[in-house]
Chain A
Amino acid sequence: MSTPEQAAPAPAGAIVPSRTEFLRRFVQGDLASLRVVLGLAVIWIIFQSQNDRFLTAENLTNLMLQITAVGLISVGVVYVLLLGEIDLSVGAVSGLSAAVMTVLNVNHGWDPYLAIAAGIATGMAIGVLQGALFTRFGIPSFVVTLAGLLAWQGALLQVLGKTGSVNITNPKITGLANIFYSDTVGWIMAAVVIGIYAGVTFLGHRRRVAAGLPGVPIASQAVKVVVVAAAVIVAVAILNSDRGVPLAVLILLSFVAGMEYVVQRTRFGRHVFAVGGSAEAARRAGIRINGIRVAVFAISGSMAAIGGILAASRLLAVNQTSGGNDFLLLAIAGPVIAGTSLFGGRGSVWSALLGALVIGSISNGMDLLALESAVKYMITGGVLLLAVVVDAIARNQRQQAGRI
């Protein structure tokens, strides 16, 4: 009964994953994000070989701007998925919230920041309402938010009024998606990000050592920091060689990092995972599970609103199709492609970013190749299916290895 992992004991006090262990984790999906990064690399190589404009600084900057809105919505969707629930209203909520902001600013002359706050508050209020309906009456979230999808789409038309489209001219709002930072500012941000990441990593390591707990060897921590630093530097260098680091990308990355911190490191996040893993166990542990659920739907609504506002800023307008089309499905497909489980309790906010990058890259690349919409939809669908199949195989592998 000696499996390779057991046969090779790790040095005392250190967690050193052996190569077989690494392979097992890769296959079984513990390293889902690495799998997705590899997939992304393949996609990029394919498109680059078909059209050498794909990997230019200009196109990569465009790609980042294209995925901002969907990525932000996906951040909220990840939270809902972690509960094992679904929010089908995020597309409609993003459109409605953007419309509320725009109409207040343009037609009623509200201060732009106040209008933005009102837009986000709209999304949050809708999330609270849907979460309350879901928990209070025990209606499946699927149905509550499906009703929401229809209702908020109607509300969007109502808010927009007869014209059906409102242009945004306020520079504060349009700036969200159209401001680029200078090279210097970009490098300062890179330095700050790398500094914080390295600091947090090494301080955490020191605390574990001080507490006498087994830790990951310092060398592999250092490698991690170097890889992250290299990625940040390359990204900033590419963005700087075009128009600079866009504010929109900064907003997206801040939300991804911030919400990842909340879900992985705080008590609230721990309780989200617990409710998604076993609601009954969470309830018996004294967690107010309905409170967690309503809060998560509020987050989902708020993030949808923020994504919608960014989309409106980029489009310089809101119209009747805002938040419509495939917005909703892409926002849900992204995290699922990147490894967040639809069954709750497994996933990370990074999957929102990674998934948006995968879907965005495919869509952007196919635009460069001037493929027809028909082909684009089918290919995107195929990739989603492929990702879910890979995930299902990983799940199966885990179960066969006695892991749930």
Chain B
Amino acid sequence: MEASTQSNGALLSLKGISKRFGPVQALNKVDFEVRAGEVVALVGDNGAGKSTLVKVISGIYDADEGQFTFDGEEVKISGPQSATTLGIATVYQDLALCDNLDVVANLFLGREDIAPGPGEVTRQLDETKMEHRSAELLDTLAVTIPSLRNEVGTLSGGQRQQVAVARSLLGEPKVVLLDEPTAALGVAQTAQVLALIKRLREQGLGVVVISHNLADIFEVADRIFVLRLGERAGTFGTDDTTEEHVVSAITGARTGQEGEQEGQA
């Protein structure tokens, strides 16, 4: 495992996070943690606070209260840049790729390699180096793309998702947040993306996946974190729970047994 861990094993942990938008309490004293080499699924009904929680972690929203611990140290996250600097990468649902640029250009967008020598004056791109690094990166992730020089617009949805995930890894993050990575994908493409998520775990990254698809979650996640009405409605170990339990936690049908199935004990 590349990422260091601390005594209780959490790479990123949030304590008592609250976020309020006017009269709406989007998050209410939520505790959340991800360990290195672990995939945590974040589930909940629409409006449960999943997106708010991810945006708090990725620095888009400032939490009203609560504390962050990253890699054993208490930190403050304010602004997307500070989250990126800590080593938290986010892949949003819309992927934010430029369809008119090729795979290499998209991977390195905003952090292009510059050619040494006279080319430095004009900030000439080092295409050879970038293509080489892209090939290596996609190779380690076992992502297969017909050609690195294909425009991203010509790729399938699954390939685009994989490019977006690969891009987030170029900054060498320790935690990766994936927002609905399998939404709108076909069966084969979903399998590709889930396989990629598993490889991220093998590389020792902490992975947080937002998803509505319980089948996908049960296939890939180690733990399932359920949010309901801005509060934590339970954490389940994937191995010792069932879809029924998770669904009832999401819908609140079994509020009396909240947190009972704590799978990490």
Contact = CB atoms under 8 A, between A and B. Distances in A.
Interface stretch (B10-18, B125-133, B212-220): B125-133
B123 A268 contact: yes
Nearest to B132: A211
A261 B119 CA distance: 11
Q: Tell me the interface secondary structure of chain B in the complex.
A: loop
A274 B132 contact: no
A278 B110 contact: no
A266 B124 contact: yes
B100 A213 contact: no
Given A213-B128, A262-B122, A403-B151, A267 B114 contact: yes
B257 interface: no
Given A211-B132, A267-B123, A270-B125, A278 B96 contact: yes
Contact of A278 (B92, B98, B123, B147): B98
Majority DSSP secondary structure for residues of A touching B:
helix
A297 interface: no
A277 B128 contact: no
Contact of B132 (A213, A267, A268): A213
Nearest to B122: A266
A266 B125 contact: yes
B101 interface: yes
Contacts, number: 83
A367 interface: no
A213 B153 contact: no
Interface residues of B, number: 28
Interface string A270-304: 10011011101110111100000000000000000
Interface string A363-404: 000000000000000000000000000000000000000111
A350 B123 CA distance: 21
Most central of B92, B94, B153 by chain A CB within 10 Å: B153
A278 B109 CA distance: 12
A286 B85 CA distance: 13
Interface residues of A, number: 31
Interface of A: 15, 204, 207-208, 211-213, 261-262, 265-268, 270, 273-274, 276-278, 280-282, 284-287, 345-346, 402-404
A161 to B, nearest CB: 41
A267 B128 contact: no
Contacts of B97: 278, 281
A120 to B, nearest CB: 20
A208 B130 CA distance: 11
Contacts of A285: 96, 109-111
A287 B114 contact: no
